[in-house]
Amino acid sequence: QKEVEQNSGPLSVPEGAIASLNCTYSDRGSQSFFWYRQYSGKSPELIMFIYSNGDKEDGRFTAQLNKASQYVSLLIRDSQPSDSATYLCAVNPQGSNYKLTFGKGTLLTVNP
Amino acid sequence: NAGVTQTPKFQVLKTGQSMTLQCAQDMNHNSMYWYRQDPGMGLRLIYYSASEGTTDKGEVPNGYNVSRLNKREFSLRLESAAPSQTSVYFCASSEPGQGGGYTFGSGTRLTVV
């Protein structure tokens, strides 16, 4: 069973701080990695994807990938109360042809 | 641009009843998926369709059937609903050649009593 693990949280940060969300995965051959944001009662929304080792930045969001450690993270700079949501990590395991495996998500709360 | 449209948004069924969840996408994506989301379990793949005319089982297919009617539409059928099928169901589509990230529909909240 190919697994994706996330700390369920809740992770609580003050407004303006950096929120760090972490994800580990079991399939070493995984090719691509995705971060989704899900507000309560809503559907997941794609924030970022990353394929290569290193950092990828998009506005206040930075995704970090370390394939050797099988670890992917999402940093949110200058966190806002509107960032309060559950963040889902998803992985495209080797040979799965984009049938993504999702983690259970981390609940982030940004306090004003 | 509507993206992925799911109907209905809410449904209550009695045990043993049947129903079909509808999903349509207007992004010309080849791949479509049905997931269920349960508290503490995350998103689990029920069925997927890599392209028009093909379907295959995911992680939790028992009790469900699917039809890829054409490139746009992918329906999920519960033949005899059970309380264990109470869940939120999401349809999604993707195009691997465009990065492979999913676009999700708004979901169907199903309760089986």
* Secondary structure, 3-state, chain A: CCCEEECCCCEEEECCCCEEEEEEECCCCCCEEEEEEECCCCCCEEEEEECCCEEEEECCEEEEEECCCCEEEEEECCCCHHHCEEEEEEEECCCCCCCCEECCCEEEEEEC
CA B28, chain centre distance (Å): 17
Give the residue among B27, B84, B45 at the shortest CA–CA distance from A100: B45
Question: Are A92 and A31 in contact, with CB atoms under 8 Å apart?
Answer: yes
CA B38, chain centre distance (Å): 14
Write down the pLDDT at residue B1: 63
Say yes or no for a CB contact (<8 Å) between A44 and B90. Answer: yes
The label of the residue with tokens 């099988």 reads: A70
Question: Are A62 and A14 in contact, with CB atoms under 8 Å apart?
Answer: no
Write down the pLDDT at residue B50: 92
The CA distance from B96 to the nearest CA of chain A, in Å, is: 7
- Tell me: pLDDT of B43 over 80: yes
Tokens matching residue A10 = 């809740």
Chain segment B8-25, per-residue pLDDT in tens: 999 999 999 999 999 999
Highest mean pLDDT among A7-11, B82-86, B98-102: B82-86
Of A32, A43, A44, Cβ closest to residue B100: A32
* Residue A86 main-chain phi, psi, to 5 deg: -95, 135
Chain B interface includes A52 (CB < 8 A) = no
Say yes or no for a CB contact (<8 Å) between A99 and B40. Answer: no
Q: Does the N-terminal peptide bond of residue B8 adopt cis geometry, omega within 30 degrees of 0?
A: yes
Chain A interface includes B97 (CB < 8 A) = no
The CA distance from A98 to the nearest CA of chain B, in Å, is: 6
Write down the pLDDT at residue A51: 92
**Distance between the two ends of chain B, CA-based, in angstroms?**
36
What residues of chain B, 34 to 53, have a C-beta less than 8 Å from chain A?
35, 40-45, 48, 50
Say yes or no for a CB contact (<8 Å) between A49 and B101. Answer: yes
Query: In whole angstroms, what is the distance from residue B47 CA to residue A66 CA?
Result: 30
Residues in chain A predicted with pLDDT less than 70, given as ranges, are 1
**CB-based burial label for A26 (10 Å; 0-12, 13-18, 19+):** middle
| Integer-rounded Cα radius of gyration of chain B | 13
Q: How many CB contacts within 8 angstroms connect chain A with chain B?
A: 50
Of B44, B100, B103, Cβ closest to residue A92: B100
- Tell me: pLDDT of B40 over 70: yes
Write down the pLDDT at residue A88: 97
